[in-house]
Amino acid sequence: MTNSNAKRLRVDGGQEVISEINGRAGIISLNQPTTLNALTRSMNEKISASLKSWLNDDRVELVILDHVPGSRGFCSGCDAPSLVTMGKSNIRKAQCFLADQQKLIHFIANYPKPCVAIIDGVTAGSGAGLSTLASHQIATENTLFALPETGMGWFPGCGATWFLPKLEGELGTWLALTGARLREEDVVAVGLASHFCGAEEVATMKDGLCRRGVEALGYAKTRFEFSLQDKRSEMDEAFSGDSILDILRRLKSGSQWAKAQATKIEAKSPLSVRIALRLLRTGEYLGSLQDGLKIEYRIGSRLLHCRNFYEGVRATLIDKDHDPYWRPAGLRSVTFDMVAPYFRPLDKKELRLAALNSVIQ
């Protein structure tokens, strides 16, 4: 599909998700430019429906996940304001929204055909899970990758429990606790994207994927040096361990870069920071993505009962005053006993992830 066709579809169709078959590829294009393609529950359902319809379609050899031209973002994450509205009026509906997202991530990660995510723009939150757990990712100079959830009273989810601990050293801990942004080639350098091409080459790359399949990726670059490589030793030393207070102490006694990371962490929700650190350390010992998605769902289901999430979304996305009032207000006030209940099983309300053969049926 060419750029001109994509633009025409957006204008004529107006759908929030555009799906079509072109050559060998099934193409799913996110089409909510005003929200940087933040995922709504209906978008989750439409993406899943397209993926299901192509499972046994011999015309489709691979799937391309991208966004329509001009929307500036592959996917900025979950539609948090909608989740807030649901949480205030119908908590069970909000939990179903979370469950749908986890199921979609699980589906993409286990999809039997190659899935290529073209992340030519903002890729954050659940959008990061959507792309990272696909089989291939193409970043461009427009890519901005981030996990900003701790600044919204939430936590890095949608598979982050599985993929962040697998990054080299303490890169995952740094990203999760600070909400740091990775740009351009750095996304490939740290292992969160498999390939890189120029934004002006995306249409050609997409056309090549449709005509030749994943073979077309052979022309993309795959190796770069991380722009913060000179900070890696300090990063690994400072962000190691299970104590957030120890991490902050080491950061505050380090370089100017390290001190800046401490400042970022202290601006986040103290409860979310504590949850995120424990989640990453738990993720180091998990046997499967499925285990991580279930733990994330437990935490998310319970945070919907916590005012910090509603306050964080208000401050960052609704009122945009960036002055949230967290409870507890400081990291020292968040105890182990406050964090532990978020991780406990939900018993009969536990997330159930279907095996792929049942999804096909």
CATH code for the domain in which residue 119 is found: 3.90.226.10
CB 27 within 8 A of CB 11: no
Give the end-to-end CA distance of the chain in Å, rounded to a whole number. 30
| Angle between the N-to-C axes of helices 256-266 and 244-252, in degrees from 0 to 180, rounded to the nearest 10 | 140
pLDDT value of residue 8: 32
The answer to whether the CB of 59 falls within 8 A of the CB of 52 is: no
pLDDT in tens, 268-277: 999 999 999 9
Locate 239 and state its tokens.
Answer: 């962000």
Percent of the chain residues topping a pLDDT of 90: 91
Q: Specify the number of domains making up the chain.
A: 1
Return the pLDDT at 7.
36
Whole-number pLDDT of residue 354 = 81
139: buried, middle or exposed (CB in 10 Å: 19+, 13-18, 0-12)? buried
Residue 239 has pLDDT above 60, yes or no: yes
Contacts of residues 318-326 at CB distance under 8 Å and 24 or more positions apart, as own/partner, are: 318/81, 318/84, 324/153, 324/269, 326/153, 326/269, 326/270, 326/271
Q: Give the phi and the psi of residue 115 in degrees, each rounded to 5.
A: -120, 120
The pLDDT of residue 359 is above 60: no
Take residue 2 and report the two structure tokens written for it. 């060419």
At 14 the pLDDT is 67
Query: pLDDT tens digits, residue range 316-328?
Result: 999 999 999 999 9
Sign of CA dihedral 38, 297, 107, 122: positive
CA distance 258 to 261: 5
The predicted structure's pLDDT at residue 361: 47
Q: pLDDT above 70 covers what percent of the chain?
A: 94
Query: What phi, psi does 28 have (nearest 5°)?
Result: -115, 110
Give this prediction's pTM. 0.93
The Cα 214–Cα 107 span in angstroms is: 20
Q: Could you tell me the residue range of the domain that residue 79 belongs to? A: 1-361
- Summarised one tens digit per residue, pLDDT across range 293-319 is 999 999 999 999 999 999 999 999 999
Q: Please choose, from the candidates 157, 143, 173, 171, the residue with its C-alpha nearest in 3D space to the C-alpha of residue 75.
A: 143
With 70 as the cut, is the pLDDT of residue 360 above it? no
How confident is the model over 34-41, as a mean pLDDT? 93
> What is the total residue count of the chain?
361
Contact assessment for residue 150 and residue 179, using Cβ atoms and an 8 Å cutoff? yes
Question: Which value, to the nearest 10 degrees, does the dihedral of the CA atoms of residues 293, 298, 299, 301 take?
Answer: 110
Computed over its alpha carbons, how large is the radius of gyration of the chain? 20
Q: CA-CA distance, 64 to 138, in Å (whole number)?
A: 10
pLDDT at 203: 95
Query: Do 50 and 28 touch, CB atoms closer than 8 A?
Result: yes
Instruction: Provide the mean pLDDT of the chain.
Output: 93
Banded pLDDT at 138 (limits 50, 70, 90): very high
> Which of 269, 299, 258, 282 is closest to 174 using CA atoms?
258
The contacts of residue 361 (CB under 8 Å, 6+ apart) are none
The pLDDT of residue 149: 97
Give the model confidence (pLDDT) of 7-26 as tens digits. Answer: 333 333 468 999 999 999 99
Summarize pLDDT for 182-211 with one digit per residue, the tens.
999 999 999 999 999 999 999 999 999 999
